Amino acid sequence: MKKPGFCPRKRNLEEDNKLKQQTIAKEVTYAGVGLHTGENINLTLKSAPVDTGIVFGRKDIPGHPKVKASLENVSSSTREISLKTAGVEIRTVEHVLAALSGLGIDNCEVELDGPEPPVGDGSSLFLVELLKASSISTQEKPRHLLKPKKPIWIVDQDREITLLPDDKLTITCMIDFTHPAVGSQAASFTLTPETFVNEIAPARTFGFLEEVETLKQQGLARGGSLENVIVIGPERILNDSLRFDNELVRHKILDLMGDLSLLGTPFYGRITAIKPGHSLNVKMARKIAEEAKVPPLTGELDVTAIQEILPHRYPFLLVDKIIELKPGSRVVGIKNVTINEEFFNGHFPGHPIMPGVLVVEALAQTCGVLLLSDVENRGKLVYFAGIDKVKFRRPVLPGDQLRLEGEPIKIRQRTGKMFGRAYVGDKLVTEAELMFSIAG
């Protein structure tokens, strides 16, 4: 089989969280038959603004209603993934979602003049060719990235999907059919756009000949043929040839990628899927979404919780406790200054005084907790970008307890400016305007 000839820019998935969101550069169109409805349908892929996600539109319905590809809008996951909102339904979206996800496209409008996308040749290959004709466009806002920190799994009898934490996305899949032409198949890939294009996208959907009449009676598979489905007969596969020896399990990976993209964000992890299907895939996506929810940081944080946010460690972690945290508005930290501090060994050892720059650093760390308490910033780093209007009013001595207060002056996506004050008791000892850069 001829390779699609489209190799998007290779990217290191370890750096995905540094990449910006992507859409397509220009509008592209494809016409073909729908797998289940059998209708002739036009599909148009359009660029979309940042944070749009993947949205399907029905051009054939007055008002051109749209349905977002999200877990909340899944209406069926039995034989296909269908999306529905306000009475408007889009069927069989998984191959489109897999193509967009596999190529790292975050925002796209998929316009249709019928109830489901064309099936093409039964794979995502025709969509790769469409996207090749359009090309990918980088947008200004960083992409979101989900990185689960603990194992997540779901089991349904002899079927299961497991996700383990990792710094890249790897999918291992196994299927097992009691059929002489299929039997057991397995495949494993570390996913990049190049891997998706060459190893996953060409894999076609498949079905058993004995199920065809039942499916058609249910209003399904009316557009299916040997041109767009691998058909498995009683003894053998009826198509002339396969694209891969294990094409069936590769298509299961394609479906899994499309189904999990309903999370609405790319993610890392090592996935192992045994006998997956749309229903189990969607249940797994829901569980990932639930497990990965980041609770808001408010109230008090002990030193262990602070170390979950800040990278600093002894002897340079200068905040012992957060006693007040109101995301976006205020933070108050405590630093207990003892004679055992490392810096007292060399900073006026005969008359120990806490260096003023370290009081400012303690303020900066406290303000950093506020900046990084935002869910969007969790796991990132803050760096000093500037200090202004610093005033040292009183010395800080061993035995003092520093009360460190920070309030935002201006917070943007990648930068922050805060006003900090440090007190001993009710006495102001240091104040400053602190500028930060948020990285990662």
b (16+ CB within 10 A) / e for 362-377: bbbbbbbbbbbbbeeb
Give the tokens for residue 21. 């969101």
State which amino acid sits at residue 418.
M
- Is 278 assigned a catalytic role? yes
Local structure of residue 203 (DSSP, 8 states): P
Cβ atoms of 77 and 282 closer than 8 Å: yes
Alpha-carbon separation of residue 306 from 183, 324, 325, 365, 375 (angstroms): 52, 12, 12, 10, 15
Question: For residue 266, what are its two tokens?
Answer: 């790319």
Cβ count within 10 A of residue 148 = 16
Cβ atoms of residues 261 and 71 within 8 Å: no
Among the listed residues 201, 202, 204, the one whose alpha carbon sits nearest the alpha carbon of residue 191:
201
Q: How far apart, in Å, are the Cα atoms of 79 and each of 57, 139, 218, 256, 279?
A: 22, 35, 11, 13, 8
- Residue in 36, 95, 251, 278 annotated catalytic: 278
Q: Does 95 qualify as catalytic in the annotation? A: no
- 251-273 CB burial, b ≥16 within 10 A, e <16: bbbbbbbbbbbbbbebbbbbbbb
The CA distance from 118 to 349, in Å, is 78
Q: Please choose, from the candidates 68, 72, 112, 116, the residue with its C-alpha nearest in 3D space to the C-alpha of residue 90.
A: 116
Considering the candidates 36, 251, 347, 351, report the single residue annotated as catalytic: 347
Alpha-carbon radius of gyration of the chain:
27
By the 8 A CB rule, do 367 and 418 touch? Answer: yes
- Would you please indicate which residues are annotated as catalytic (active-site) residues? 278, 347
